[in-house]
Amino acid sequence: MIQFADLYKAFDGKPVLAGVTLDVQDGETMVIIGYSGTGKSVALKHVVGLLQPDAGDVIVDGRPVAALDRAGLYGLRREIGFVFQFAALFDSMSVADNVALGLRRRGLSEDEIEERIREALALVDLTGTEQRMPAELSGGMRKRVGIARAIALRPRYLLYDEPTTGLDPVTSAVMDQLMVRTREHLGVTGIVVTHDMRSAYTVGDRIAMLYEGRIRQVGAVAEIQQTGDPVVRQFIEGRPA
């Protein structure tokens, strides 16, 4: 279970997170929605200790992340796959080497690594692209390589930061299916940050809206779709203020 517990974070005196509290249950996919610049990426980064909170913490299976030492953080990151907002591939490395990145660091045998690469690429429908270079891939394919890299590590948790942003509607739908499939095949608990409502409804069990530094509303997809909160309603309907 991942618990955001009264999380506060400001940059240069400007508050971004101001008491975020949210529980993500084992096995569920929680979607976090919210306007650009509200701190969705900042919240995710606290889960893996890439940012230090000003107050409060994220608690992963009972472990307060900010309090972990190097070894604790290393152990935590072995359990959590992070699919970054901008695919973050190494352009000078082949697809296979990009996927293998975390695996090599873990000292797995080359045979095992090859097997994991094959399996992860198959899961994202990129079988046969092992030797291609990132520059030869479309944006959607690059995002899928990012997912393959995360799932090759067989994490308990997967964090996706805007997996469908910038993709055409059909490619977005393919990404949604991949996230659903990944969860079904690997049983991972997920957090998906997005402002793509179609994607939120497809992949989410629950949806939480981050607004002005806090969780404005959290609920099952159907509950959010029927929300009476004008702020949430305006966002999900995509109406200008």
Ligand X SMILES: Nc1ncnc2c1ncn2[C@@H]1O[C@H](COP(=O)(O)OP(=O)(O)OP(=O)(O)O)[C@@H](O)[C@H]1O
What does the binding site for ligand X look like in residue numbers (CB under 6 A)? 11, 16, 34, 36-42, 85, 195
CB nearer to ligand X: give 228 or 238. Answer: 238
Q: Binding partner of residue 179 among ligand X, Mg ion, none, CB under 5 to 8 Å per kind?
A: none
- Amino acid 121 reads L
CB 193, min distance to Mg ion, A: 6
- How far apart CA 223 and CA 206 sit, in angstroms, is 9
Beta bridge mates, 206: 30, 220
**Binders in 38-77 for Mg ion, by CB under 5 A:** 41
- How far apart CA 185 and CA 151 sit, in angstroms, is 11
Taking contact as CB under 5 A, which single stretch among the options 35-43, 138-146, 169-177, 218-226 is the one that binds Mg ion? 35-43
- Amino acid 181 reads R
With b for 16 or more beta-carbon neighbours within 10 A and e for fewer, the 92-124 pattern comes to: eebbbbbbbebbeeeebeeeebeebbbbbbebb
How far the first Cα of the chain sits from its last, in Å, is 36
CB nearer to Mg ion: give 45 or 116. Answer: 45
- Please work out the total of residues on this chain that contact Mg ion, with binding judged by CB under 5 A: 1
CB 56, min distance to ligand X, A: 16
Q: Binding partner of residue 16 among Mg ion, ligand X, none, CB under 5 to 8 Å per kind?
A: ligand X
> Closest Cα partner for 203 from 143, 158, 168, 237?
158
CB 74, min distance to Mg ion, A: 25
CB 50, min distance to Mg ion, A: 13
CB 180, min distance to ligand X, A: 22
Which residues bind to Mg ion, rule: CB under 5 A?
41
